[in-house]
């Protein structure tokens, strides 16, 4: 098919966006995809999951929910997005690509309808190559797993079946969403997570509040014990855990994580070493580090270690801009992480748990780098071996990080590499968490979770490096929560004590992503908490809880945030939740007194009121001579 300015391997979220943007700039673009154009997100991940969750919230039947899911996903028909690509000027090639030499890709065409054998191969020349082949599910090493009826997350989100008994293995974002989906529609769901809490990558309170919600939906949850053996039974299957627990079910759903899909791409032709389970190394411009030319090589989406649709789309924008001649760098300081359960979970930026894990990872990477240098190879340029065809199915739904099942050291490191929010800490340092005073009264489970999270934060505090100051607020203290009869929710904000800038946040509550967007902006723009504390939120909204936490951060004694306030001459917040000088606060508390000279002469009242009302309306109010009102 000849030469192209840009060849894109993978037609998922990232690949489609890069191809469309670059073609719009006038360059010749070919996109290679053997699977669904658009990747997993619109067909097998984010969209069907949210559709089923919304149907469950509306008390629809399973049959109606499946019909709605089919409607919004287009019935797994990708002809419409393929047509949009062609109209944009993109050459869409159905097949799988392999790099044969720098500047050249060989595409094996997919078989036509009704054709069993693969089609012929076609060589493509490129000036810029974009690798956006997504990621693939990882099955844990459980004895007997191939012999039992099991689903991947994709299969669980496209099947019309409603199992009577279902085991969900993995307590990350996808596992929690699928647990709530099937439990809400009547399945007996058991959720198994090898770590001590759900959502292991986030602060403990988030997983604990979510676990309570899933139990209320009817799910049974086992934490802290990994699955060791699965066996088929006459009635379905039995899963054995390390602690001796045995769970019977009709089907097992694997939500134990994903890895970048890079197998079979011929990365060795670019001089890249292949290390199973690792993402492609990229620069801040999303250019693949260490790839040999001629031709530039870029990467976007799950192959780089990102785990969300919006992160893939963002990287694709960066790649397209740089291919078009701009100079743009990616900033991962404020990439949201969402779980769309009820209540939902929203996290962004640095949190104490991720900060500690990142520091451990940095130390491991440093040790690995030293070993690699001794062995004469470059450990900064790992790639991933996989089984993929070159389609970008992307984990757009979100990775089930930290499931812990069969957690070998390499698997654990892969899970942590798949996180994209990184701590801006100096080498050899570790952020320290410091919990401020809790505010308000929350539901019992929220209060218990918050207390445990606070204790964990204190225990994890380090003696070196920048400190994270934590402030917490309960959604139950807002009027919106009382109106909705929903007192289950909490949020935590994390500020850098040295700079006074908001660094991270986690919120659990109804549709948290819709009212936490301002936090994402504040982190990305590096806005100080002193400014954020002065933001007014509409009443009645859940956003009012942010005011409580932000003002607590802005008034935390002993930090540079507090020192900044002292330097500017502003005192602590008044009882009226306004930052006012002391004199104003005194004036605001003046008593209103009656005029001691007596009532004035009676005036005619134009309205038809009784005499007592008229006298009340004519009462004079006296003020001191120096009252500013």
- The number of domains in the chain is 3
Looking up residue 550, the CATH number of its domain turns out to be: 3.30.390.30
Look at residue 133 in the predicted model and tell me its pLDDT. 96
Q: What does 488-538 look like in DSSP terms, one character per residue?
A: --EEEEEEETTTTEEEEEEEEETTHHHHSHHHHHHHHHT-BHHHHTT----
For the segment 482-503, the average pLDDT, to the nearest whole number, is 88
Cis geometry, peptide bond prior to residue 443 (ω within 30 degrees of 0): no
Indicate if 282 and 175 belong to the same structural domain: no
As a whole number of angstroms, the distance between CA 37 and CA 534 comes to: 46
The answer as to whether 287 is a domain residue is yes
User: Which of 286, 309, 332 is the C-terminal boundary of a domain?
Assistant: 332
Indicate if 67 and 51 belong to the same structural domain: yes
For the segment 18-46, the average pLDDT, to the nearest whole number, is 96
User: Which of 256, 276, 304 is the C-terminal boundary of a domain?
Assistant: 256
User: What pLDDT digit, counting tens, does each position of 34-60 carry?
Assistant: 999 999 999 999 999 999 999 999 999
Residue 374 pLDDT exceeds 80? no
Indicate if 104 and 230 belong to the same structural domain: no
Look at residue 556 in the predicted model and tell me its pLDDT. 52
User: What pLDDT digit, counting tens, does each position of 320-355 carry?
Assistant: 999 999 999 999 999 999 999 999 999 999 998 655
Residue 567 pLDDT exceeds 60? no
Indicate if 439 and 584 belong to the same structural domain: yes
For the segment 306-317, the average pLDDT, to the nearest whole number, is 94
Residue 540 pLDDT exceeds 90? yes
Using only C-alpha atoms, what is the Rg of the chain?
Answer: 29
DSSP assigned state of 233: E
Indicate if 568 and 452 belong to the same structural domain: yes
Indicate if 539 and 434 belong to the same structural domain: yes
Look at residue 434 in the predicted model and tell me its pLDDT. 40
User: What pLDDT digit, counting tens, does each position of 271-310 carry?
Assistant: 998 788 889 999 999 999 999 889 999 999 999 998 899 9
Indicate if 171 and 33 belong to the same structural domain: no
Indicate if 461 and 578 belong to the same structural domain: yes
Structure tokens at 538: 């509409």
User: Which of 256, 288, 321 is the C-terminal boundary of a domain?
Assistant: 256
- 3-state SS class at 283: coil
Residue 209 pLDDT exceeds 70? yes
- 3-state SS class at 6: strand
pTM, 2 dp = 0.76
For the segment 257-266, the average pLDDT, to the nearest whole number, is 93
Indicate if 524 and 468 belong to the same structural domain: yes
For the segment 583-611, the average pLDDT, to the nearest whole number, is 47
The answer as to whether 233 is a domain residue is yes
The answer as to whether 507 is a domain residue is yes
Average pLDDT, the chain: 78
As a whole number of angstroms, the distance between CA 73 and CA 52 comes to: 11
The answer as to whether 608 is a domain residue is no
Residue 149 pLDDT exceeds 60? yes
For the segment 469-475, the average pLDDT, to the nearest whole number, is 94
Question: With pLDDT > 70 as the criterion, what percentage of the chain qualifies?
Answer: 69
Per the structure, the complete domain to which residue 289 belongs is given by: 2-137+260-332
The answer as to whether 337 is a domain residue is no
Indicate if 128 and 152 belong to the same structural domain: no
The answer as to whether 367 is a domain residue is no
- Which carries the bigger pLDDT value, residue 66 or residue 611? 66
Looking up residue 224, the CATH number of its domain turns out to be: 3.50.50.60
For the segment 547-560, the average pLDDT, to the nearest whole number, is 75
For the segment 388-409, the average pLDDT, to the nearest whole number, is 41
Indicate if 462 and 588 belong to the same structural domain: yes
The answer as to whether 369 is a domain residue is no
Indicate if 441 and 568 belong to the same structural domain: yes
């Amino acid at each position: 098919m000849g030469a192209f300015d840009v060849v894109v391997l993978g037609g998922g979220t990232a690949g489609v966006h890069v191809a469309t943007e670059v073609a719009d700039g006038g360059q010749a673009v070919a996109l290679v995809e053997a699977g669904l154009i658009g990747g997993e997100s619109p067909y097998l991940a984010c969209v069907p999951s949210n559709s089923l969750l919304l149907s469950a919230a509306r008390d629809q039947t399973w049959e109606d929910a499946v019909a709605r899911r089919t409607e919004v996903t287009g019935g797994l028909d990708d002809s419409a997005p393929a047509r949009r690509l062609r109209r944009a000027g993109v050459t869409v090639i159905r097949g799988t690509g392999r790099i044969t030499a720098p500047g050249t890709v060989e595409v094996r065409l997919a078989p036509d309808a009704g054709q069993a054998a693969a089609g012929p191969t076609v060589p493509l020349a490129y000036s810029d190559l974009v690798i956006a082949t997504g990621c693939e599910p990882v099955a844990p090493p459980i004895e007997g797993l191939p012999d039992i009826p099991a689903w991947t997350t994709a299969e669980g989100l496209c099947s019309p079946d409603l199992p009577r008994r279902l085991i969900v293995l993995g307590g990350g974002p996808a596992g929690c969403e699928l647990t709530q989906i099937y439990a809400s529609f009547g399945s007996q769901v058991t959720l198994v997570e090898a770590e001590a809490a759900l959502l292991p990558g986030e602060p403990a309170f988030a997983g604990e509040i979510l676990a309570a919600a899933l139990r209320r939906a009817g799910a049974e949850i086992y934490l802290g014990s990994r699955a060791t053996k699965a066996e088929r039974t006459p009635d379905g299957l039995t899963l054995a855990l390390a602690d001796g627990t045995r769970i019977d079910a009709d089907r097992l759903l694997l939500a134990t994580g994903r890895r970048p899909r890079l197998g079979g791409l011929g990365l060795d032709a670019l001089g890249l070493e292949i290390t199973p389970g690792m993402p492609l190394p990229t620069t801040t411009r999303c250019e693949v580090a260490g790839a040999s030319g001629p031709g530039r090589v870029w990467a976007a989406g799950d192959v780089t270690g990102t785990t969300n649709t919006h992160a893939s789309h963002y990287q694709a924008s960066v790649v397209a801009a740089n291919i078009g001649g701009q100079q743009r760098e990616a900033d991962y300081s404020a990439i949201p992480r969402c779980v769309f359960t009820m209540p939902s979970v929203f996290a962004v930026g640095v949190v104490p748990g991720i900060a500690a894990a990142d520091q451990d990872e940095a130390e491991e990477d440093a040790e690995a780098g030293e070993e690699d240098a001794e062995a004469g190879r470059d450990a900064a340029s790992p790639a991933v071996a996989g089984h993929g065809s070159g389609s970008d199915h992307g984990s757009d739904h979100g990775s089930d990080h930290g499931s812990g099942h069969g957690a070998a050291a390499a698997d654990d490191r892969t899970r942590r590499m798949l996180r994209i929010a990184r701590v801006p800490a100096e080498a050899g340092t570790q952020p320290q968490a410091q919990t401020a005073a809790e505010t308000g009264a929350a539901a019992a489970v929220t209060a218990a979770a918050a207390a445990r999270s606070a204790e964990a934060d204190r225990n994890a505090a380090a003696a070196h490096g920048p400190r994270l100051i934590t402030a917490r607020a309960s959604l139950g203290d807002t009027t919106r929560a009382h109106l909705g009869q929903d007192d289950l929710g909490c949020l935590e904000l994390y500020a850098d004590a040295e700079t006074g800038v908001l660094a991270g946040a986690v919120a659990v509550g109804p549709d948290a992503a819709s009212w936490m967007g301002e936090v994402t902006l504040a982190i990305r723009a590096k806005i100080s908490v002193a400014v954020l504390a002065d933001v007014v939120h509409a009443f009645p909204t859940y956003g009012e809880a942010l005011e409580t936490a932000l003002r607590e951060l802005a008034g935390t004694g002993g930090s540079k945030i507090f020192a900044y306030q002292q330097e500017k001459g502003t005192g602590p917040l008044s009882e009226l939740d306004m930052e006012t000088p002391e004199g104003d606060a005194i004036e605001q508390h003046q008593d209103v007194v009656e005029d001691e000279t007596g009532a004035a002469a009676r005036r005619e009242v134009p309205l038809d009121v009784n005499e007592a009302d008229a006298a009340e309306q004519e009462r004079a109010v006296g003020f001191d001579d120096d009252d500013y009102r």
